[in-house]
Amino acid sequence: MRIETQNYNDITVIQLQGEFTAEAVKSFEDIVSGAFVSQISGIVLDMSKVVQLDSRALEQLVELNEQCRDRLRPLKLAGLDETCSKILEVTRLLPQFDTYSELTEAVKSFA
């Protein structure tokens, strides 16, 4: 999986591309840790190019959501495709997240 970050003022956008599986979790955790250190006030995950989520990735999303709620503000998920949205729905995790169809909407929701 490819992971890139961009900052919009004090909001960090983490763009994920490919299969978000157990193999990618360590890299993802490292990026998130770096974001928390840099005094941000919110995180948006751009999921528009994620094609697969496995159980370990789902666990990581839940953990990150809890960390964001404890430290900052709720995690925002943007651009979920039909497959990823369905995975979150079937696992009954979807209601735990603030989801947005567009990245810009998610970033603006912190205003």
Do residues 33 and 64 make contact, with C-beta atoms less than 8 angstroms apart? no
Phi/psi of residue 6, nearest 5 degrees: -140, 145
Domains defined along the chain, listed by start: 2-103 (3.30.750.24)
pLDDT tens column, 6-62: 988 888 999 999 999 888 888 998 988 888 877 788 899 999 999 889 999 999 999
- Its pTM stands at 0.88
Q: How many Å apart are CA 107 and CA 52, to the nearest integer?
A: 23
